[in-house]
Homo-oligomer: A and B are copies of this chain.
């Protein structure tokens, strides 16, 4: 009887349009009317998928997490190459990853003053934490991690370094100048094997 059964596809489209709006216009542009226009649908249709603006913002964070984890899961690598690939998924090295990171930071900053947004923001952050700990574990198993080092500390330091490099890449304009970001990261990963 119904007209269509899209549901999920529709919400995904809307959320992806939201990410584009977040990168182009920032938080101020993430309005019901603005996102609907970007998605090419009517505002009333958007409110059928997301009854409230908060639900939309929440789903955006969820979508970012899903997309990143999907990309990481798709990596068919091992050892050091896997560690590189894994961590590079969290840096704004191309348009897609920059889009996600900008949106993530915008919503993350909003979560500082909107407590309802903190749970999904924390979930996302914990995911990155797990990735860093996993990276250290992979290095250990590959014999690329000096045994004198403290795995827990190195995972934390790696997390901070990763965030810092990502931020640096964000502020410093576009993608070209940020091509030396991976260098900083890989050089750090190299150093974990030595002393």
Give the interface of A toward B (CB within 8 A): 24-29, 102, 105-106, 108-114, 121-122, 125, 153, 156-157, 159-165, 167-168, 170-171, 184, 187-188, 194-195
Q: Do B160 and A184 touch across chains, with their CB atoms under 8 A apart? A: yes
Given known A-B contacts A184-B156, A188-B157, A112 and B26 have beta carbons under 8 A apart: yes
Contact partner of A170 among B25, B112, B168, CB < 8 A? B112
CB contacts (< 8 Å) of A164 on chain B: these are 159-165, 167
Q: Do B171 and A110 touch across chains, with their CB atoms under 8 A apart? A: no
Q: Do B157 and A168 touch across chains, with their CB atoms under 8 A apart? A: no
- Residue from A102, A109, A110 whose CB has the most chain B CB atoms within 10 Å: A109
- Alpha-carbon separation in the docked complex, A102 to B194 (Å): 37
